[in-house]
Amino acid sequence: MKNIAVIDYGMSNLHSVLKSLKKVINKNYNLSIAYSSKDIEDASLLVLPGQGAAHSCLEKLASDFPDLKTHIMNKPFLGICLGFQILFEKSFENDGVNCFSLITGDVKDFRSTIKKDMKVPHMGWNKVNQKYNHILWENIPDKSFFYFVHSYYAKATTETNILSDSDYEINFTSAILKDNIFACQFHPEKSSKHGLQLLSNFINWSEKLT
């Protein structure tokens, strides 16, 4: 049996993610909450949801999951929202904080780049433009709508890492893919049938990696 560890560092909508994952897994998977490094050592898949500030998130992860980056690089990984942003090189939130540098590019404030009459946070349903075909998009039409809630946006600089982009006056990276790492700015757990399909596709994709 494979163990899916959903990482809890006190800053995520954990229960929504757990509820959605329960709908798409079968009896071959066990779903657990990880509170420390010990809880992810034997995990087959890792899920890192997140909300809040990058600096606080990274501090908490460094304290409770000091070897998390190594695990992310070696196990099928899904990052959601803040769990997506901290994979980049730097976030300009909280006067700037260095992140995991697993994806080239930075995370910037919408308010520094878009017009003042645009609402921040970017909240609600928006189109996700698929950059290329992949099992992660199976049974999800291109330009499907997913649910977003974020004030900061990421821009990946390595084209092959960009699985999708979206627009909110400006163009930004909405999902990335690199080796065993998949992460998205939007919330699949809040994105109805397409979100559940994406989570199911992630499980299927992970099977091909292990």
Q: Give the alpha-carbon dihedral of 181, 154, 25, 147, to 10 degrees.
A: -170
Long-range contacts of 93-102, Cβ-Cβ distance < 8 Å, separation of 24 or more: 93/53, 93/54, 93/55, 93/152, 94/53, 94/54, 94/55, 94/56, 97/54, 97/55, 97/58, 99/54, 99/58, 100/69, 100/72, 102/69, 102/72, 102/73, 102/178, 102/181
* Whole-angstrom Cα Rg for the chain: 16
> Which residues are catalytically annotated?
81, 187, 189
DSSP string, 28-69: TEEEEEE-SGGGTTT-SEEEE---S-HHHHHHHHHHH-TTHH
Residue ranges of the alpha helices (H) in the chain? Answer: 14-24, 54-64, 68-74, 82-85, 192-209
